[in-house]
Structure 1
Amino acid sequence: MPTLHVLSHSPFGDDRLGSCLRLLGSDDALLLCGDAVYALHDGCDTQRLLQAAGLDQRLFALDEDLQARAISSELAKAVDYRAFVALSLHYDKVNSWL
């Protein structure tokens, strides 16, 4: 069952990102929001981890949070809140990593 995984916590405080990536299925997607967008920062180990995960067209980041943290990334597709809702409806389940 395809799942949208939503991460909002900094990737530097714990291993939620790593745990999430280990559990992602081939039809699952990942949305980074809040401090989780720091994982996309150029040169970080977390950015390399996301690159290695091979999430082509399945990695998203909330545009408002990217802008607030002055982060730009070619790795994730930036989405607004309307697209966030559309993604939530597209996938069978939404799993928020609290």
Structure 2
Amino acid sequence: MGHLFDLARQAAQLEQAWQSRRLARVGDASLKLLRMDAQAYPDETHAYAEGLLVLEGELRLDVAGEAVTVVAGQLCMVPAGVPHAVLPGSSGTLLIIDA
């Protein structure tokens, strides 16, 4: 039997924006949910690829110096080793997929 996640309800219950909660693991990947607010989030780089799936709202990114806007229903894949930061003005709900 599978597990059903009510992502909208769980995102609304998150205490703090930009602090993810791991929901599950699928193979080697973690599925993490977070709530965005209009604040920027500092530049980061990972040793693994990261998938950023916007469930609701809009994610504004700087990916290796290029501005990228990701809207609800879109997935942005950031390759391993590529610096990325959240620009001001993002809001909504984000599902992060990483290994």
TM-score between both structures, scaled by the size of structure 2? 0.30
> Which is strand-richer, 1 or 2?
2
Q: Which fold has the larger relative contact order, with Cα–Cα distance below 8 Å and residues 6 or more apart in sequence?
A: 1
> Which is helix-richer, 1 or 2?
1
Max Rg structure: 2
